Amino acid sequence: MIIDFHVHTAHYQSMTRSYLDLLRRQWGDRFDWMIQTYSSPEAFLGLMDEGGIDYAVILAELAPITTGISDNEYVAEFCSKSPRLIPFASINPYTISRPSEELERLVRDHGFRGLKLYPTYQHYYPGDAMIYPSYAKARELGIPVLLHIGSSVLAGSRLKYGDPIYLDDVAVDFPELILIQSHSGRPFWYDKAFALARIHENVYMEVAGLPPQRLLSYFPELERIAEKVIYGSDWPGVPTIKENIQTLKGLTMSEDSKRKILGANAARVLGIADR
């Protein structure tokens, strides 16, 4: 089973100039085609079929300063087209008065299966009191929390909030809550991200946006925590998901580790039966 744990929608209700420029640089003259084509869930499912992907986690994003807005309602609608599309909600504690109530509404009424937080884009430390009620609610609802942990090149990002060490308090205070470090501390905190995943039973690493061919040089002992590593592409930040997966499959690791990283760990975290 292959699960892509990190996919953005092609269409944002608003996109900042910085994010738009980044995607234009990456996609060149195929940019308009990409946005139009993959705003359709059917077309995106076709892309998943090409890559042999069974499920994809689709991320809402409320980050008006840095990337823009792909709102929860849009992502819920997108994912309603197929059970293979798994929606993760976005909460921005600066733009809503009662984040935990909002999270409960999104999970109970719209079927969201996880929460994505963007500390570097939304400007708070993962351990800040303002986001603690959302962790408590996620634990109560039994959903995992994926956090952007690492740097970003987008204008308005504040990198200090991406340091993995600030996730340590959360891991200690919510031992039953699954915390997944998206981007695994890229690029100056790989050691910390790895250490946190080793120390805390509830902390994982997710490798979206990292070139798969470099994974073992970033994490020479990756296989020691093969149970705690989750694949994600960061599409449309990468041009093809298929190649991304092929490269990962070609790494010098046991087949069992690859099976865990590419899907089995994600299936366990999402409560999907592995086949």
Nearer to Zn ion, 223 or 234 (CB): 234
Nearer to Zn ion, 170 or 210 (CB): 210
In which order are the strands placed within the sheet that holds 85-90?
3-8, 55-59, 85-90, 114-117, 145-150, 179-186, 203-206, 229-230
> Which one of 26-34, 35-43, 96-104, 234-242 is the stretch in contact with Zn ion (CB under 5 A)?
234-242
Backbone angles phi, psi at 139, to 5 degrees: -65, -45
Nearer to Zn ion, 190 or 223 (CB): 190
Return d(Cα 6, Cα 58) in angstroms, integer: 7
Query: Closest distance between Zn ion and the C-beta of residue 26, in Å?
Result: 13
Contact 183, 148 (CB under 8 A): yes
Query: Closest distance between Zn ion and the C-beta of residue 108, in Å?
Result: 26
What stretch of H or E contains 101? helix 99-110
Return d(Cα 129, Cα 131) in angstroms, integer: 5
Q: According to CB under 5 A, which residues from 19 to 48 bind Zn ion?
A: none
Query: Closest distance between Zn ion and the C-beta of residue 61, in Å?
Result: 8
168 lines the binding site for Zn ion (CB under 5 A): no
# binding residues, Zn ion (CB under 5 A): 1
- State which residue has the least CB distance to Zn ion: 234
Burial label for 38, CB within 10 Å (0-12, 13-18, 19+), is buried
Query: Closest distance between Zn ion and the C-beta of residue 6, in Å?
Result: 6
Q: Which positions from 190 to 229 touch Zn ion by CB under 5 A, shown as an x/- string? A: ----------------------------------------
Query: Closest distance between Zn ion and the C-beta of residue 235, in Å?
Result: 9
> Which one of 16-24, 100-108, 151-159, 233-241 is the stretch in contact with Zn ion (CB under 5 A)?
233-241
Nearer to Zn ion, 54 or 234 (CB): 234
Nearer to Zn ion, 168 or 234 (CB): 234
Return d(Cα 89, Cα 43) in angstroms, integer: 22
Q: According to CB under 5 A, which residues from 75 to 134 bind Zn ion?
A: none
Pairing of strands 179-186, 203-206: parallel
Return d(Cα 24, Cα 13) in angstroms, integer: 17
Query: Closest distance between Zn ion and the C-beta of residue 181, in Å?
Result: 13
Buried b (16+ CB within 10 A) or exposed e, 44-68: bbebbeebebbbbbbbbbbbbbbbb
234 lines the binding site for Zn ion (CB under 5 A): yes
Nearer to Zn ion, 102 or 234 (CB): 234
Contact 72, 78 (CB under 8 A): no
Residues within the interface to Zn ion (CB under 5 A): 234
